């Protein structure tokens, strides 16, 4: 029977009919006022609030961490459905965010998207409370739950904000959306939402994806994984994503496959906002066949015809894997989900778990530095003074605010923190729970990857609240199939040895992009020798020297001078620098850069990059006796790059004596531990 909802669907959204469950969910939301919807990825959850917003009028506010998806949604709402939409998030410039605020306050925005972190900002919070919000949507609602695999403290502010909205508009409707909530998480979300709306209606769909074929491919090491990706892409059809656990791996995968003539590009949160938007638009238009991405893109892209998802690294949880692999085949046509499994990959996920979850002493450290300060401290100061991992610092402050141990205020447009007079004992049990949950989730993911007998889709569905799920009869376990042959990884191995590692451009310091010879994460033999011997011998390693000369041959004729960064620990620096200068036919300026004040500690002894920046800031001096050749590069030569703080300090003082182009070159590139000394 045709209803006004069907008419709106057809005229506004150009759809002939609702998907199964959509009409019933919208009707339930309109009647019950507060609804939690648990549906698989690709079931059309976005339409639930898009259509409802047309019925309610006013502003629909959507809180979502999926910035890539937000961009897709706004483009579709504006251009296809003529629904005014905007967003406020950290991926946009301040000017873009302010323009969105003005339009929303003027009542010209129907659907406004904000990232959850925006609710941490006092100014943003005050602005949002001025809007006439009729529908409040919590995307990725499992992030509310302490029992969820992706609990985020910033989501706890959502509940407080929701209560304020409800007081302002008692008729407010609330919609929670998630594709990953087992029964325990479902009950926890419903319990928390009930603090806003007394009655919470739950709608759960079955979690089967009948068009997905799931499989596992064993892969021992990075070279083997690269070779398998190359082989797979020669056989698979259509477009897809390759998920990577780290930004560095997205670049690694994209660089290798580009050399194998694959149309691929890397995407991660470290890219500039405009570049991310351009990549996403190009992928939507099929300019690229594949994107190697972290979840900064992967969970949020709105491309229905993805034919495959390859996981280069194991995800941290089985529920996250279900959501990520579910991005493929959203058009209902056959699609593949392939996980490349190396048991050693568990280490990076264990590192993520340990680094993200604060301990009791972390809370005490933050409280101590705030208490001992004569004035409120900003986030950067707290990170530097405590030495905590940046993620942990954010979590600690959010929790201390939530438990009313500290307060937050705006001082010259910067948020600062100070102690409240009354201090109550902290309840940190949720972090013990989170560590247990995340460790259990990783164990489930490892079991999924290592077992070969049980249906893979059934394992996923059971983990997500479908305990009576039947076998899919499609996955490799059900079909008793396996990868026929392991491809030769010789090409990938040789490529890894020769591949220079990009040093990104440093725009603020006006430093061009450069490169390092060795990637510390791959641990090649030359890298290991260099790091062991650099502080104990002046003799040059001949293999490293030959690699250095080979990889810099294209720079001959472009270098105006070479400036070694001051070092007390690289014994062979001058010997390498002299050989490099002769090779590049450029003068060696050994005394151009010196320490005016020696840093208090070695960079490797410090605990986070805020401390490393402070350790060298304004400690160096530059003395240039003669002008540098016009339009030629000043090459900054160092042993290794970690945080980049030393190169940035060198650039700062060089800019007082020259405007020559600056380019960094290091033997190695490492990644420091955050929250403890040493490198990963």
What is this structure's pTM? 0.84
Please report, to the nearest 10 degrees, the dihedral formed by the alpha carbons of residues 663, 668, 672, 673 taken in order: 160
Under 8 Å between Cβ of 421 and 176: no
Cα angle 430, 434, 439 (rounded to 5 degrees) comes to: 155
Residue 414 near residue 378 (C-beta atoms within 8 A): yes
Which residues are paired to 35 by β-bridges?
175, 201
Successive 10-residue mean pLDDT values, the chain, 680 residues: 86 90 93 91 87 95 82 86 91 88 95 87 84 93 72 73 88 91 85 78 89 95 95 95 94 95 93 86 93 77 88 92 90 95 92 86 96 95 95 90 90 90 87 87 95 94 83 93 79 88 89 94 89 95 95 95 95 97 96 95 94 96 89 96 96 94 96 87
* pLDDT in the model for residue 197: 65
Cα 56 to Cα 133, 168, 172, distances in angstroms: 10, 16, 10
Per the CB < 8 A criterion, the answer to whether 639 and 567 are in contact is yes
Contacts of 424 (CB under 8 A, 6+ apart): 403, 404, 405
DSSP calls for 256-272: HHHHTT--EEEE-TTS-
Q: Other C-beta atoms within 10 Å of 636: how many?
A: 24
Place of tokens 């014994």: 571
- Cβ atoms of 175 and 137 within 8 Å: the answer is yes
Contact (CB, 8 A) for 111 and 56: no
List beta partners, residue 502: 515
Q: What is the pLDDT of residue 152?
A: 67
Phi, psi of 415 (to 5 degrees): -75, 130
pLDDT at 146: 66
Question: How far is Cα 515 from Cα 480, in angstroms, rounded to an integer?
Answer: 46
pLDDT score at 119:
81
Contact 395, 358 (CB under 8 A): yes
List residues bridging with 61 in a β-sheet: 112, 136
Report the distance separating Cα 201 and Cα 194, nearest Å.
10
**Percent helix, percent strand, percent coil in the chain, to nearest 5:** 45, 20, 40
**Residue 244: burial class (beta carbons within 10 Å; 0-12, 13-18, 19+):** buried
Q: Which residues contact 432 (CB under 8 A, 6 or more apart)?
A: none
In the prediction, which pLDDT does 410 show? 87
Q: Which domains does the chain have, with CATH numbers?
A: 4-204 (3.40.50.300), 212-346+448-492 (3.40.50.300), 353-431 (1.10.10.10), 500-669 (3.40.50)
Burial 558-583 (b: 16+ CB within 10 A, else e): ebbbbbbbbbeebbbbeebbeebbeb
Taking the alpha carbons at both ends of the chain, their separation in whole angstroms is: 62
């Amino acid at each position: 029977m045709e209803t006004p909802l069907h008419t709106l669907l057809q005229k506004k959204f150009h759809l002939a009919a609702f998907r199964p469950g959509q009409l019933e969910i919208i009707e339930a939301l309109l009647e019950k006022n507060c609804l939690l919807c648990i549906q698989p990825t690709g079931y059309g959850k976005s339409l639930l609030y898009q259509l409802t917003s047309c019925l309610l009028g006013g502003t629909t506010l959507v809180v979502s961490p999926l910035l890539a998806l937000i961009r897709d949604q706004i483009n579709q709402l504006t251009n296809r459905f003529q629904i005014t939409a905007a967003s406020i998030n950290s991926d946009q410039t301040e000017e873009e965010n302010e323009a969105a605020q003005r339009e929303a306050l003027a009542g010209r925005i129907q659907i406004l998207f904000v990232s959850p972190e925006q609710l941490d900002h006092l100014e943003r919070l005050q602005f949002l409370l001025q809007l006439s919000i009729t529908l409040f949507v919590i995307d990725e609602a499992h992030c509310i739950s302490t029992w969820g695999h992706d609990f985020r403290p910033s989501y706890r502010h959502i509940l407080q904000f929701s209560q304020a909205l409800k007081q302002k508009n008692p008729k407010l409707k609330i919609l929670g959306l998630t594709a990953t909530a087992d029964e325990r998480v479902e009950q926890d979300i419903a319990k928390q939402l009930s603090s806003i709306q007394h009655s919470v209606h739950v709608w759960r769909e079955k979690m089967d994806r009948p068009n997905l074929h799931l499989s596992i491919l064993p892969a021992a090491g990075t070279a083997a994984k690269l070779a398998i990706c190359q082989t797979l892409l020669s056989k698979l059809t259509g477009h897809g994503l390759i998920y990577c656990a780290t930004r560095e791996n997205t670049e690694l995968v994209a660089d290798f496959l580009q050399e194998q003539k694959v149309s691929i590009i890397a995407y991660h949160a470290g890219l500039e906002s405009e570049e991310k938007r351009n990549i996403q638009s190009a992928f939507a238009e099929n300019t690229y066949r594949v994107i190697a991405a972290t979840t900064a893109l992967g969970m949020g892209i709105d491309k229905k015809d993805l034919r495959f998802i390859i996981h280069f690294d194991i995800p941290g949880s089985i529920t996250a894997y279900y959501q990520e692999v579910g991005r493929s085949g959203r058009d209902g046509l056959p699609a593949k989900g392939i996980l490349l499994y190396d048991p050693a990959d568990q280490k990076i996920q264990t590192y993520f778990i340990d680094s993200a979850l604060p301990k009791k002493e972390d809370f005490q450290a933050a409280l101590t530095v705030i208490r001992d300060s004569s004035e409120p401290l900003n986030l950067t100061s707290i990170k530097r003074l405590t030495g905590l991992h940046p993620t942990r610092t954010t979590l600690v402050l959010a929790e201390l605010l939530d438990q009313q141990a500290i307060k937050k205020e705006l001082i010259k447009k910067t948020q600062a923190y100070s102690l409240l007079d009354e201090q109550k004992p902290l309840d940190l049990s949720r972090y013990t729970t989170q560590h247990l949950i995340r460790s259990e989730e990783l164990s489930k993911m490892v079991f999924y990857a290592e077992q070969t007998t049980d249906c893979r889709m059934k394992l996923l569905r059971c983990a997500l609240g479908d305990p009576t799920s039947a076998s899919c009869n499609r996955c490799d376990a059900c079909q008793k199939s396996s990868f026929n042959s392991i491809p030769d990884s010789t090409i990938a191995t040789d490529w890894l040895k020769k591949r220079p590692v990009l040093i990104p451009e440093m725009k603020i310091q006006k430093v061009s992009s450069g490169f390092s010879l060795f990637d510390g994460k791959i641990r090649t033999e030359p890298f290991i020798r260099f790091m062991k011997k650099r502080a104990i011998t002046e003799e040059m390693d001949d293999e490293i020297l030959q690699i250095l000369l080979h990889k810099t041959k294209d720079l001959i004729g472009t270098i105006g001078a070479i400036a070694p960064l001051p070092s007390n620990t690289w014994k062979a620096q001058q010997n390498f620098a002299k050989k490099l200068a002769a090779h590049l036919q450029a003068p060696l300026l050994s005394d151009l850069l010196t320490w005016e004040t020696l840093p208090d500690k070695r960079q490797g002894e410090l605990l986070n990059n805020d401390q490393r920046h402070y350790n060298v800031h304004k400690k160096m001096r530059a003395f240039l006796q003669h002008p540098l050749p016009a339009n030629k590069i000043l090459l900054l030569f160092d042993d290794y790059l970690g945080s980049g703080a030393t190169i940035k300090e060198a650039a700062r003082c060089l800019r007082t004596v020259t405007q020559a182009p600056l380019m960094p070159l290091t033997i190695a590139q490492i990644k420091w531990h955050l929250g403890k000394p040493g490198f990963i």
